[in-house]
Structure 1
Amino acid sequence: MTSPLPHAASAHAEASSHPLLSAAEAMFPRLSARSEEIENARRLPPDLAAELARDGYFRMMIPEALGGLELHPAVSFQVMESIAKADGSTGWCVMIGAATALTAAWMFEPAARAIFTRPDVITGGVAAPIGRAEHVEGGYRLSGRWPWASGAQHCHWLVGGAIVTEGGKPRMVREGVPEMRSFFFPAERAVLHDTWFAQGLCGTGSVDMEAKDVFVPDEYTFSLSGQAPRIARPLYGYAFGLLGMGISAVALGIARRAIDELMSLAGRKTLMLERRLLSARPAAQEAIADAEATVRSARAFMLEALNTIHAESTRGPVSVRTRAELRLAMTHATRSAARAVDRMYEAAGGTAVFRASPLQRCFRDVHTATQHAMVSPATLELTGGLLLGLELPTFTL
């Protein structure tokens, strides 16, 4: 792998000076103070969701041509990371809303404008092709029930992935492969089932959403894998990488919070039997050093991969190897973040198990993030095989 140091340095400077990142960092005291409220509500409070929308957090990946910010991915990554440091559930919802909105680049312009030019619009949903969409005159009849619809309660539009059918049978694009598309529809057409009783990321409202025979016009559908973006800008040359990069941003933000919390705790917690501060214990010192190195190296790999893929996309099509390296960086960062949080949780001792400790929330949140399919251990099999030169399916990259 080559290290694009000039690009990395440029993106770091851009992110450091971007007003949205500065605003995200400034939110930390106020947002972290609401974590218990967010967790107990099991969703983002309406006023917080509206504030995030008004300030542009859900517009980071929308094309400039549609009134969006179209930020460099390294900037969006660091914004999500900063929000997640304050509150993991809020970071996750920002990630879902921003990533869903990038699909505006694949839609017919009139439909994209109808959805995304509203300045406070929030979109969400589930891209997995769990539903069924019967092709009819002028559009499709969409039905299905999708789990993990994070932030659906505050969305104006939802998107559901589905297999296209005609006459009740799947429409095939080639032998053994059915056509899969995604479908935007107004949020009020969905039924939300309150199923989100989880160990972590409790405030994301990741409920089941259901559509029952909802008509979706042709122009409100798209396929990330079956068509090129209609807005041909570098940011949209690697869609699946953008959809998943926020998972690692959230995980790394949570890990940074855990490290900071332990460092603060170590300077004030006295070990009863040893009669010294936790900071004087060699095991705590080693844990801090290990976690710091783990998180910063994983983060550096993510930023390198994001800068590399974006630079390559400005020159032309992105190679399979570059896509694989981004997926590898995403998985590595997410799982490295979990290991770092584990070290901090263990080093804190019994203090960390109480609800008053942010460390217990960091522990639960990061281990919920690791369960996402985009960063599962199976992705290491795919990326490892591709790096070894094997011929493997690459449509998920």
Structure 2
Amino acid sequence: MSLALIDQVRALSVRIRALAPGIERDRGLPEDLVDDLTGLGLFRLAAPNAAGGVEADPLTMFEVFEELGRADGSVGWCTMIGAATGATLGYLDEPVAAKLLADPRFLIAGVAAPSGRATMVPGGYRVRGRWSFASASRHSTHLVGGCVVFDGDTPAPGPGGMPQVRHVIMPAADLSIHDNWDVVGLAGTGSHDIEAVDVFVPDAYSFSLFGPPRQDRPLYRFPVFGLLAFGIGAVALGIARAALDEFARLAGEKRDPLTGQPVAGKPMIQAGLAEAEAILGAGRAYLLGEIADCWRRVSAGEVVPVEQRARLRLAIAYATRSAAHAVDLVYHAGGGASIRASSPLQRCFRDVHVATQHALVSQDVRELVGAVLLDQPVVTVRL
């Protein structure tokens, strides 16, 4: 773990907290803050080191995402999306990845869901489609889109008779952004729809997350969907940490109108905060343990088995839900003070519940994991 990097992130977090209300109001990050995040190399955390990336270990990435989520949910989320999406460069030939990373403002984001159509043509694909929830799209230099591959007007067959899915990397300037991110939480992520209309993508800039990466190093042997997802849990845990810290401050300042004593002296308040701390700590420990176990395996050159990949995904979903539960406890205990627009508690409440809605931590994930643990027939490529 890079302690120097974590210290730099913590130092930047002081400024981020001051910017948080404006980030929510403007539904995006200030460009100078994006420059600061870029300057720290945070959008290169998962990109190949040999091509100009950082190729950090997952535990370092977790610490970065959690700390930024604690400062502001939207900043943590955008950084997580940009950093994790950089792992897709491990699926490209090294010279291609190096060409992308040569841009000092490099930030790759996008949507893996196959909402696009990639028609095979000589040398690559003609791509069209519209993808929702493209966080950090306005700040990106490149955008990824998942596509169903077509041979003419016919879907190309993939494994198991399913249509073939391909992911393409496109210059952000070649896509349109539809300003439709009007939401209750994580408003500053700018997760608008993006659209491609007849964009040519060379074959070298396409890959499949369901196939093997080109770079055979530990980070790219880590379960790819776990790598893309664990940051959701990390950011949610950071948001919850901020909520519990704010509640502790509020409980020390808020006075009982009858006795004049701080509400922190009430047993109900004390028990509520203790329960929230336990729930948050359990979710965090479970997730960190599963990340560490998977990292030990891939660092030793081993393949992570399906059951362990399933447990990693379960830990991510559990940590995210645990973070939301912990926030709920202190939000309700805060009473009327929690609902004021000036209160960080209400923003934490809204942000963390938007995080729980991500498809990678949905009820569907728990059903999939349960089927694996019960040795039931189930398609496991999404693990």
Measured against the shorter chain, the TM-score band is over 0.9
CA distance in 2, matches of 1:144, 1:72: 34
1:274 Cα shift? 4.8
Across the two proteins, how many residue pairs are aligned to each other? 381
Which stretch of the first structure deviates more once superposed, 111-120 or 20-29? 111-120
CA distance in 1, matches of 2:182, 2:367: 31
Which residue matches 1:359?
345
CA distance in 1, matches of 2:153, 2:348: 46
Q: Could you report, residue by residue, the CA deviation over 1:90-138 in whole angstroms, capped at 9, with x for unpaired residues?
A: 0000000001111110012232111123343111111110000000011
Residue 177 of structure 2 corresponds to residue 173 of structure 1: no
Residue 192 of structure 2 corresponds to residue 207 of structure 1: yes
Q: Pairwise mapping of residues 124-273 of structure 1 onto structure 2 (< 5 A)?
A: 124-174=109-159, 176-225=161-210, 227-237=211-221, 238-273=223-258
CA distance in 1, matches of 2:259, 2:202: 69
CA distance in 2, matches of 1:117, 1:288: 47
CA contact (8 A) 1:352 1:360 kept: yes
CA contact (8 A) 2:105 2:141 kept: no
CA contact (8 A) 2:130 2:196 kept: yes
Out of 349, 353, 365, the residue aligned to residue 335 of structure 2 is 349
CA distance in 2, matches of 1:208, 1:180: 20
CA contact (8 A) 1:124 1:151 kept: yes
Residue identity in the other structure for 1:234: P
Out of 256, 262, 265, the residue aligned to residue 280 of structure 1 is 265
CA contact (8 A) 1:104 1:116 kept: no
CA distance in 2, matches of 1:296, 1:121: 34
C-alpha distance 148-336 of structure 1, shift in aligned 2 (>3 A): same
User: What TM-score do the two structures reach when normalised by structure 1?
Assistant: 0.94
Residue identity in the other structure for 2:338: A
1:28 Cα shift? 2.3
Out of 379, 385, 392, the residue aligned to residue 371 of structure 2 is 385
Which residue matches 2:326?
340
1:297 Cα shift? 1.3
CA distance in 1, matches of 2:122, 2:98: 23
CA contact (8 A) 2:51 2:95 kept: no
Which stretch of the first structure deviates more once superposed, 281-290 or 270-279? 270-279
SS at match of 1:309: helix
SS at match of 1:120: coil
Residue 82 of structure 2 corresponds to residue 116 of structure 1: no
CA contact (8 A) 2:82 2:107 kept: yes
Q: Could you report, residue by residue, the CA deviation over 1:326-374 in whole angstroms, capped at 9, with x for unpaired residues?
A: 0010000000000000001011110010111100000000000000010
CA contact (8 A) 1:24 1:83 kept: yes
Q: CA RMSD in A?
A: 1.1
1:59 Cα shift? 1.1
Q: Pairwise mapping of residues 275-314 of structure 1 onto structure 2 (< 5 A)?
A: 275-314=260-299
Residue identity in the other structure for 1:261: E
SS at match of 1:356: coil
1:165 Cα shift? 0.1
Flag structure 1 segments of 5+ consecutive residues without an equivalent: 1-13
User: What TM-score do the two structures reach when normalised by structure 2?
Assistant: 0.97
Out of 71, 79, 89, the residue aligned to residue 104 of structure 1 is 89
- The share of aligned pairs that are identical, in percent, is 47
CA distance in 2, matches of 1:132, 1:168: 10
